[in-house]
Structure formats: structure tokens, C-alpha cells
A and B are shown apart, each in its own frame.
Chain A
């Protein structure tokens, strides 16, 4: 079983719709992250959470919101989707006890906004 799962894996939606992407992990990690990947731009951080009560904006948080429902669950919402939010979205986790900061990634959600 995958340690970091994302649902849905693919989603097509229309401009203006509200969309939620979900991430769950069984790794027992305390830290979780949401990134978007665009061709030629690498991965850019949207939001990150160091524990359930600690949520922080990343470099491109406008138009997005998040919820950390439990240590194992971190959801990303697009309140009113727009076409330039079409991208590949990744959730990642890390363990603050490791002290070396590597992150572990889910398989991604491909989102298309028409």
C-alpha cells in the first residue's frame, strides 16, 4: 500500500467550480505540504503544515486554501477554479524527528480547469 495517497488522481472541472484535493498518509509524519508542478517551473510550494494547528502559506498560496483535519490528512481547496490552476498537484510529508528534511511524495493529482 502506498504511504502517501492522493484523491482524485485526475480531475477535470469548469471555471468557477469549487474543488477539493485530498491527501492521506500512513507514514506517521507530522509535516505535510502541497505543491503544484508546471512544465519548466519545477515544483512550487502552495501551503505547508508542521502540525495540525500550524498552517503556513507557501510561495503561491493565492486562490488556494487548506485544511489539516488530522495529522494524517491534509486537503487543498480551490474555492473558484480558474484555467491557470491547471497543473499537477503533489502532496508530500516529512518527519521532524528525522532532522534531515527529506520529503516523501504522493502520486499526484492532475487537475484540468476548462
Chain B
């Protein structure tokens, strides 16, 4: 069974500062990993995904994430925060066999960007 832990339910950064949102996973098989973003009153939008190719994954809006198997982590980063990045971010994990398309989500991290 898979699980995801997102450290920090709320993160606040200044505009222009580094964004770091943490995600650790547990999986009995090599995982596929995802970051989704949810803007207010909207559904979830895929930011990026790791599917066992390159360990550094680039996504939309300048975000990227690095898969570190030794640390069971998939942290999301962006070098310079913008006001429009304020949203809730969810990390999700899927096994890659059988009923693998079931995703397990973390509890989310709300990102606040201040001037």
C-alpha cells in the first residue's frame, strides 16, 4: 500500500523567494509520483509527474521536483515565488502494477505568497 506525507499544512514565502514544498512517500513498488495544484474554487491541475525516467522533473509554471529514492522524497521547488502561485498543492503516489491507477493523496500544503 502507498502513502504520502506532506510536511507543513501551510507555507508562507515572500514574492521572489524560493518555494519548497515537502513530500515523502511510502510504496511497496517503484512509484509514480505527482504534484497537483488547486486554485481557489477550482479542480486539481497536474503540475508535474515522475514516472521512472529522469529524477529531476520539470513542470508547468516554473515548478520542478526531484525524486530521491534514498530519502523516499519528491519535494516541489520553484526558484522565485509569484503571487499567482498562491494555492493548495497536493502530492500523490501510485504504484505501477495492477490497480496502479489509484492515486493516494497527501493532505495538502497551502502556499501563501506575500509582498
Contact = CB atoms under 8 A, between A and B. Distances in A.
Interface of A: 4, 31, 33, 35, 40-45, 48, 50, 56, 58, 90, 92, 94, 96, 100-108
A106 to B, nearest CB: 5
B102 A45 contact: yes
B102 A48 contact: yes
A108 B46 contact: no
B27 to A, nearest CB: 13
A106 B44 CA distance: 8
B96 A42 contact: no
B45 A105 contact: yes
Interface of B: 9, 32, 34, 36, 42-46, 49, 51, 90, 94, 96, 99-103, 105-108
Majority SS at the chain B contact face: loop
A106 B43 CA distance: 6
A11 B34 CA distance: 30
A102 B100 CA distance: 10
Given A42-B107, A100-B49, A108-B43, 14 more contacts: A31-B101, A33-B102, A35-B105, A40-B108, A58-B102, A92-B44, A101-B32, A101-B94, A101-B96, A101-B100, A101-B103, A105-B36, A105-B44, A107-B43
B46 to A, nearest CB: 6
Contacts of A105: 36, 43-45
A86 B72 CA distance: 34
A106 B45 CA distance: 9
Contacts of A107: 42-43
28 contacts: A33-B102, A35-B105, A40-B107, A40-B108, A43-B44, A43-B105, A44-B105, A45-B102, A45-B103, A48-B102, A50-B99, A56-B99, A58-B102, A90-B43, A90-B44, A92-B44, A94-B101, A96-B101, A101-B96, A101-B101, A101-B103, A102-B34, A103-B101, A104-B46, A105-B36, A105-B44, A106-B43, A108-B42
